[in-house]
Structure 1
Amino acid sequence: MAASFLFYDLETFGADPRTTRIAQFAALRTDAELNAIDAPISLFVKPADDLLPSPAATMITHITPQNALRDGLSEAAAFARIYEEMARPDTCTLGYNSLRFDDEFVRIGFFRNFHDPYEREWRNGNSRWDLLDVLRMAYALRPEGIEWPLREDGAVSFRLEHLAHANDVREGDAHEALSDVLALIGLARKLRQAQPKLWDYALRLRDKRHIAQLLDPVRMLPV
C-alpha cells in the first residue's frame, strides 16, 4: 500500500511530448484514505523561446504563452519542484490517462532538465497508476455506484469532465489542471466507497511483482 497518493494533471502547449512543453502542473497529495495531507500545488511553466504552441491546445486550456511567460517558473525550476514531489518515498503518482500522456511529458521534461526520467516511478517504494483504466475496469466489472454519462452515439463517455459532471464532483473549469485534479480525487473517493474490493484489486495490479503471480510473462499464460 502506498503511504500517499500524488494526484496530478498537466496542461500542455501541444499533444506530442517530444516536440512541445508543459504549460501548467497541478497536484494534491492525499493519504491512503484519500484525505488531503498537503496544500495543493499549481504552477505555470514559462515557454521556451523556440516553442511554437499549438493554437488548438491554447484554445482548450486558455493558457496563452504570454500568460505562462508572465506567471510561470523557468522549466528548470518547475521540474525541480515536480521531481521533489514525485520522488518523495512511498508515493504513488497517478492521474487520468497519465500513463499514455502526462507521464511521457514528465519523463521527457525530467531528462531535458537533468533528472532521472524513471527513478521516481520505482525507487523507495514509489509507483504510478492511471485511474482512466481503473474506471474502465469498474464500468466493465462493477458499474454500481458510479453514474456513467453517455455520448450522443449511446456509448459511455470516459472523458473526465463528463464523469465529473455526472457524479457531481466537478470543482472549477475543465482543462484547468488543479480543477481536474480535484475532480479526479472526487471520482476516486466515489469509486473507492462504492467498490472498495475492486479499488484494492486494481491498486495491487500496478505492481509488476503482483502481476508475476498471476501471469507467466515468458509463456504468456496464467500461472
Structure 2
Amino acid sequence: MGFVIYDLETTGLKKRFDQILQFAAVRTDENLEVLEQVQFEGRLRPHILPSPGALHVTGAHYADLIDPLRPSHDAMVGSIHETIVRWTPSMFIGFNSISYDDEVLRQAFYESLRPPIFATNMNGNSRGDLLKLARVVGTLRPDVLRTVRDESGRRVFRLADLAQANGVDPGRSHTAAADVATTLALCRLIAAEAPILWSSFMRFSNKAEVLNFIAEHDAFAAFEFKKGIQDVHPVTAIGFKPTEPNVRYCLDLTANLSALRRMTPAELVIEVAREDGPILRMKANCSPILAELWELDQDLLGDFTEADLEATASAVRGDDAFVKRLLAAAVASETVWPKSKYVEFQIYDVFIQDWDVDVCRRFHAAPWNDRLALIDRFQDPRLKKLARRLVYFERPDLLDAALRIRMDQAIQDRLNGREPDAPGRTFAGALQEFDVLEAEVGSIGPLLAAYRAHLQEQLGTPA
C-alpha cells in the first residue's frame, strides 16, 4: 500500500465554518516515489468570510476567491472526494492533518452530500500526521530531524521552520502544493534516517494495530504534546469511553497514585479533568505514537526504571476497585456538548444511513434541474437542509423566488450579526480580526486593504 501526502489551504481555522480554497496531493508508492499528483481550487461560498490572517498568510486575494470563472466549491469538493476514493487504499499523511485538515475535509464532504465523509480512514485507508511524528523524531532522534527554538527555548515544529532547519526548500509556504512537497521531503528524510520510527508511524496509523498493541502491553509509552512541550508518558490502559470505544483511557504511571487512591469521587473527577491530569484520552483511530518502555532512553523515564513502571502497572491493573473509580471519574469528566440547531455542528449527530447515501449519489448524478425533486427523498432532515442550501449556492435561479429571498435574508442576518448566537464570521468580526492582524504585522498591503474596504462597505462604516 502506498501513501497520499495532502494539504489544504482554507479561509480560516474554524473547522465547522471555514472552507477549503485549495487542495493538493500526491500519491506515492511504498518507497515514497510520486505516481500521480492533483491540485484543485474552489470559489468562495456566499456565506463565508475569509479570515484576514488566512489571506495574509496564503497571499490569496478576495477578488480572486469570488471570481465566477473559478471552479465552484461543490465542483472542487467533488473532485477531491473522487480522487480519494480512486486512490483507496492508501495511508493518508498531512501536517497537523488529523486535528485539522481531516476534520475540514469531513465537513466539506458532509455539507456537499458526498458520503462516505470518513473517506480517509475507511475501506482499507489509514491516517498519519507528520506533525506528531516530527515531534517524536525531534525528541528521540534530534540528529535526524533538526529543529529551531523560539525565544523561550522551546523547539518549534512549524512546517516551514522544519524545512529550513533540515535543508528542504519550502517553496512558497502556505500554498497547498508547496506544503505537500515539503511534507513529502520530510517524510523521505525520516523514512531514510530513522526507519524504526517511520515503521512505528506506519504501524500505528492502523486502528487495529493500536488496539492490539495496547491489549498486549501492561505498560507502554505514549507521546503527547502539551503546552508547547513534548512529553513521553509511561502509561497503562484502564478502559475505554462507553460512548466512543476508540477512546482509550490510559493512566500515567508516574502520577501520585497514593494521592489518587485517597481522593473522594468528586475530588478524583476534578483531578482527572485537569489538562495535565493523570489520565490520557487516547484515540486509537487518530494515529497515536506509541513505544515499548525498553525503546526509551533512561533520561526519558526520569526517576523511574522500566521494572518500576511494569510493577506499578501490574499493581494498578490488579486493583479492580481503583480502576473502576478512575474510569468513573474519567467518564464523569468528559465534556457533554448540547445538540446544536445549526446544521454545520450536526455532522456527528448520527451516521448517514444507506438509503440517504444512495440519494446523495443520485442527487450528484442528476442534472441540476432535476435535483430539487430529489430533496424530499432524503430521510435525514440534515441532508434535506444541506441539499436545498447546495442548490442555493450553486444554482439559485432554480429555487422558488420566495425561498431564495428568505435564504438571502438568512445569510445577510448572519453576516451582519443580527443573529447574535450564530457561529461563523461576521463583517464586524472580520474587521476586528483586521485590527489584531495589523497590530501583529504592522501595515497591510493594498489587496488586503481592498478586502477591508469591502467589509466596511457592507457594514456602512467609513473606510
TM-score normalized with structure 1 length: 0.91
**Structure 2 residue aligned with 1:140:** 139
Aligned 1:16-165 pairs, distance under 5 A: 16-38=14-36, 40-70=37-67, 72-87=70-85, 88-165=87-164
Deviation readout 1:132-167 (Å, 9 max, x if unpaired): 001111122222222222222221110000001111
Residue 196 (str. 1) matches residue 195 (str. 2): yes
Which structure would you say has the larger RCO, counting Cα contacts within 8 Å and 6 or more residues apart? 1
Mapped partners of 2:167, 2:82: distance in 1: 32
Whether the 8 Å contact between 1:46 and 1:65 is mirrored in structure 2 is no
Whether the 8 Å contact between 2:160 and 2:170 is mirrored in structure 1 is no
SS in 1 for 2:45: coil
**Structure 2 residue aligned with 1:8:** 6
Mapped partners of 1:182, 1:197: distance in 2: 23
Whether the 8 Å contact between 1:90 and 1:124 is mirrored in structure 2 is yes
Shift of 1:25: 0.9
Mapped partners of 1:72, 1:191: distance in 2: 37
Structure 2, gaps ≥5 residues long: 216-236, 240-248, 251-312, 318-463
Mapped partners of 2:214, 2:113: distance in 1: 36
Whether the 8 Å contact between 1:45 and 1:69 is mirrored in structure 2 is no
More helix by share: 2
Mapped partners of 2:171, 2:65: distance in 1: 20
Whether the 8 Å contact between 1:8 and 1:95 is mirrored in structure 2 is yes
Mapped partners of 1:190, 1:211: distance in 2: 24
Deviation readout 1:187-217 (Å, 9 max, x if unpaired): 1111111100110012101112111122146
Deviation readout 1:73-104 (Å, 9 max, x if unpaired): 21111111111222232111110000111111
Residue 206 (str. 1) matches residue 205 (str. 2): yes
Mapped partners of 1:188, 1:199: distance in 2: 8
Identity %: 32
Whether the 8 Å contact between 2:128 and 2:201 is mirrored in structure 1 is no
Report the AA paired with residue 50 of structure 1. H
Mapped partners of 1:123, 1:164: distance in 2: 31
Shift of 1:123: 3.0
Whether the 8 Å contact between 2:40 and 2:80 is mirrored in structure 1 is no
Whether the 8 Å contact between 1:170 and 1:179 is mirrored in structure 2 is no
Mapped partners of 2:169, 2:27: distance in 1: 18
Residue 173 (str. 1) matches residue 172 (str. 2): yes
Aligned pair count reads 220
Deviation readout 1:2-35 (Å, 9 max, x if unpaired): x221111111111102111111111111111111
Report the AA paired with residue 59 of structure 1. H
SS in 2 for 1:153: coil
Mapped partners of 2:4, 2:122: distance in 1: 15
Report the AA paired with residue 77 of structure 2. F
Whether the 8 Å contact between 2:110 and 2:117 is mirrored in structure 1 is no
Shift of 1:117: 4.8
Mapped partners of 1:121, 1:43: distance in 2: 17
Whether the 8 Å contact between 1:23 and 1:63 is mirrored in structure 2 is no
Mapped partners of 1:72, 1:186: distance in 2: 30
SS in 1 for 2:66: helix
SS in 2 for 1:189: helix
Mapped partners of 1:121, 1:56: distance in 2: 28
SS in 1 for 2:149: coil
Whether the 8 Å contact between 1:5 and 1:31 is mirrored in structure 2 is yes
Whether the 8 Å contact between 2:7 and 2:180 is mirrored in structure 1 is yes
Shift of 1:218: 5.6
Mapped partners of 2:132, 2:75: distance in 1: 31
